[in-house]
Every structure is written in structure tokens, then in C-alpha cells.
Amino acid sequence: MTTKVENADVSRRDFLYIATGAVGAVGTALAIWPFIDQMNPDASVLALASTEFDLAPLEEGQGVTIKWRGKPVFIRHRTPKEIEEAKKTPLAELKDPIARNLNLPPDAEATDENRVKDANGKVNEKYLVQIGICTHLGCVPLGEQGDYDGWFCPCHGSHYDSAGRIRKGPAPRNLDIPPYKYTSDTVIVIG
């Protein structure tokens, strides 16, 4: 037995069919977002996004490692010899000619001055602040080592100079300089 429906409103039915399907699909797609976004850094992680540090107790030739956003940050009070070496290195000798300083335009040259410049353009060449993560595969380099009086990464043998610039080994980039600024002559805020 077959029932023939007279005057079946096909276009109306098609519309309902497509509309239901579309609402279902779009609704599902929107509902997925909270499940994905919950994995992004949460409010408590973001709240730790800046760290203050007092440079005054750092003696000349002394370096410390502090934590910023869970990453090691190297802060070094450089000796005049280290500053001198970094300054007289010609840019042509560098493997990575970019400053990698997040306080500067992305194409800034890797001069020693650009490596110690803060977000306000203040330069204090005595203090070098950089993220202590090798740009190769994420290891933490060791200080006062390597062939260039800087840092040496034990994992795969990258040498960084006294301005944290890559000189030898597999790492592709200079050590990153985090965003920071001087809030007084001896206090910096990172992040």
C-alpha cells in the first residue's frame, strides 16, 4: 500500500531539512571551541606573565638564572672584556645577523647595542637579559663556556658569544631577548 501525498510542499520540506542540518552542524562546530580553547594558557598562567628583578646585587662577572613564564632567563652583569669582545665582532661574522630582541623591530641588526636595549630604547651594556633556551631543540645552555666567552649548549654543541649570539653549532638563531624595560636604573620588569 502506498500513500500518495497530494500537494506535498517539497521546497518547504527541503528548507526545514537543510536548516536543521545547518543548525546542527554549526552548533556542533561552535560547541567544540570551548573544548579546544580550554587547553590554551589559563588566567593563572597569564597572571605570571611578568617578573620584576633588581640588578643592583649582581656583581660584575656574575650571572643568574631566573624563571619567567616557566622559562629560564639569563641575566648577566658582563665584564668590560666581554662587552669589548661583543662590540668589536663584525656583523659579517655572525651566523644570525638579526638582533632577536623582542623590544626592537623584527629586522633590527644583531649589534651588541641592540642586544641590550630595552622596550623604551634604554641601553645599559653592562646587563644582558636573554631567554636561556637554545634555539636548536630547547635545551638550557651553560654560562661562561664555549669558544666565545659566552654560552655553550651541551646537547648538540652550539656556541653563543658574550652577547648571546650564535657563533658555532646547529642552533639557527641568537638567544631570544624577552620583552623587558627598566623601571629605575637598577630594576627591570620582564614581560
Partner 1 sequence: MSGHSTYEFKNPIARWVDERLPILSVVRGQLVDFPTPRNLNYWWTFGGILATMLVIQILTGIVLVMHFTPHTSMAFDSVEHIMRDVNWGWLLRWMHANGASFFFIAVYIHIFRGLYYGSYKAPREILWMIGVIIFIAMMATAFMGYVLPWGQMSYWGAVVITNLFSAIPVVGDQIVQWLWGGFSVANPTLQRFFSLHYLLPFVLAALVFLHVWALHVTGNNNPDGIEVKSEQDTLPFHPYYTMKDLFAILVFLMVYAAFVFYSPWYLGHSINFAPANPLSTPAHIVPEWYFLPFYAMLRAIPDKLGGVIVMFSSLIILFFLPWLDTSKVKSLKYRPLARQFFWLLVIVCLVLGIAGAQPAQGAWLLVARLATAWYFIHFLVILPLLGFIEKPKPIPASISEAVLGKAKA
Stretch that binds partner 1, among 26-34, 98-106, 120-128, 135-143 (CB under 8 A): 135-143
Q: Are the beta carbons of 94 and 167 closer than 8 angstroms?
A: yes
Q: Where are the beta strands (DSSP E) in the chain?
A: 51-54, 63-68, 71-77, 127-131, 142-145, 150-153, 158-160, 166-168, 180-182, 187-190
- 144 binding partner 1? (CB under 8 A): no
CA-nearest of 177, 132, 179, 178 to 158 is: 132
Task: Give the nearer residue to partner 1 in terms of CB position, either 115 or 136.
Answer: 136
Task: Give the nearer residue to partner 1 in terms of CB position, either 51 or 79.
Answer: 51
Stretch that binds partner 1, among 42-50, 90-98, 114-122, 158-166 (CB under 8 A): 42-50
Q: Of these, 50, 58, 69, 189, which contacts partner 1 (CB under 8 A)?
A: 69
Q: Are the beta carbons of 175 and 167 closer than 8 angstroms?
A: no
Active site residue 159: no
- 140 binding partner 1? (CB under 8 A): yes
Q: Of these, 20, 62, 65, 183, which contacts partner 1 (CB under 8 A)?
A: 65
> In the bound complex, what is the minimum distance in angstroms from residue 17's beta carbon to partner 1?
32
The whole-angstrom separation of Cα 125 and Cα 87 is: 10
Q: Are the beta carbons of 167 and 118 closer than 8 angstroms?
A: no
The whole-angstrom separation of Cα 172 and Cα 96 is: 7
Task: Give the nearer residue to partner 1 in terms of CB position, either 108 or 139.
Answer: 139
Q: Of these, 23, 26, 137, 187, which contacts partner 1 (CB under 8 A)?
A: 137
- 45 binding partner 1? (CB under 8 A): yes
- 57 binding partner 1? (CB under 8 A): no
Return the exposure string of 66-97: e unless at least 16 CB atoms fall within 10 Å of the residue's CB, then b.
eebbeeebbbbbbeeebbebbeebeeeebbbe
Residues of this chain that interact with partner 1 (CB under 8 A) are: 36, 39-42, 45, 49, 65, 67, 69-72, 132, 136-140, 153-157, 170, 172
Active site members:
156
